[in-house]
Amino acid sequence: MSIKIWIDGEFYDKEHAKVSVFDHGLLYGDGVFEGIRAYHGKVFRLRQHVERLYASAKAIWLQVPIPQDEMSRRIEETVKANNLTEAYIRVLVTRGVGDLGLDPRKCPKASIVIIADKIQLYPPEFYKKGLEVVTAATPISHRENLNPRIKSLNYLGHILAKIEGIQAGVHEVVMLDPAGYVAECSGDNIFVVNPPDLKSGGKPVIRTPHANAGILKGVTRDAVIELALKAGYDLREELFTRYDLYTADEMFLTGTGAEIIAVVKVDGRVIGTGQPGPVTNELLQGFRELTKTGG
């Protein structure tokens, strides 16, 4: 059975779901999106995703044509229409149909697309043995150019970084900010685990780049931060460099598509024991329990 895609108030079969070639989302990447997961028939952290979608739209001066509560209902309806209990949901808000010029005022109404399907970002075996990653030469956008907090349709910089990873034979890459600090991966947020110090109360220290440093503030990232704090870990959001990746005891990535996955080698340097570590595994188990309730 063909999947049903919601476009501007109507469901269409996948084969007949279309947007205009004059849509500025297609012509210029002018729009925003969200990737969301459903687990056990419950959409995971729907409110947080919808709030981030509307914040991204506001940041690019884009008026979403329906209120947030209706958007949430439409997302749930799309999952239900496709008879999915485990799903990956993609919500797009484009500038809509305009002319061939740049002026967004020529697009009288934004367009909404909601897709509910399945996703497998990494091969299953890598969740047991961990990923190898390399640093990409392509940096993330400067936050005063296209702020990475905006989840826009223009992902070309991340795609170029992803291509570097493909050419290096790995599944993911580390992207740096213009100052050379670790930012994020092409599709995931980054965490490292360090030994306890005098301030951590005997627990390992978990570090992740600060949200204000120019990264996407991931919904899964926030969930993992909450789980780490609840478990008593010293969680620090701060700036760090590749040196801190190379010398970490553990490293893991988080994202809606990736969930939580360990990294065991960065730029040829083995991380920790070269296997997913105990902190990563503990947080992964906690995250799986959290998904059973919808977050």
pLDDT digits (tens, 9 = 90+) for 33-77: 999 999 999 999 999 999 999 999 999 999 999 999 999 999 999
- CATH 3.30.470.10 intervals, the chain: 4-117
Catalytic residue list contains 151:
yes
Best CATH choice for the domain 4-117 from the list 3.30.160.70, 1.10.630.10, 3.30.470.10, 3.30.450.40: 3.30.470.10
Q: pLDDT at position 127, please? A: 93
Q: Please check the confidence at residue 218 and state whether its pLDDT lies above 90.
A: yes
Using the predicted structure, report yes or no on whether residue 200 has a pLDDT greater than 90: no
| CATH code of the domain occupying 126-291 | 3.20.10.10
Give the percent of the chain with pLDDT over 70: 99
- What integer is the mean pLDDT of 115-122? 92
pLDDT confidence tier of residue 96, bands split at 50, 70 and 90:
very high
Distances 264 to 29, 75, 158, 164, 271 between C-alpha atoms, Å: 34, 36, 22, 19, 5
CATH 3.20.10.10 in the chain, residue ranges = 126-291
pLDDT band at 136 (very low <50, low <70, confident <90, very high): very high
pLDDT of residue 213: 72
Q: Which of 42, 118, 151, 162 is catalytic?
A: 151
Residue 7: is its pLDDT beyond 90?
yes
Residue 294 pLDDT > 80: no
Q: What percent of the chain has pLDDT over 90?
A: 90
pLDDT at 41: 93
Confidence tier at 121 by pLDDT (50, 70, 90):
confident
Q: What is the mean pLDDT of the chain?
A: 95
Within the chain, residue ranges assigned H as helices are 24-28, 46-59, 68-81, 126-129, 156-168, 219-230, 242-246, 278-291
For residue 143, the model assigns a pLDDT of: 80
Would you place residue 198 in the very low, low, confident or very high pLDDT band (cuts 50, 70, 90)? confident
Where are the extended beta strands (E) located within the chain?
Answer: 4-7, 10-13, 31-39, 42-43, 87-94, 111-117, 131-135, 172-176, 182-185, 189-194, 205-208, 234-237, 250-255, 259-266, 269-270
Average pLDDT over residues 279-291: 97
273, two tokens:
């024991």
Query: Using 50, 70 and 90 to split pLDDT, how confident is the model at 142?
Result: confident
Mean pLDDT within 108-124: 94
Kindly report the pTM of this predicted structure.
Answer: 0.95
- What average pLDDT does this structure show over 2-18? 96
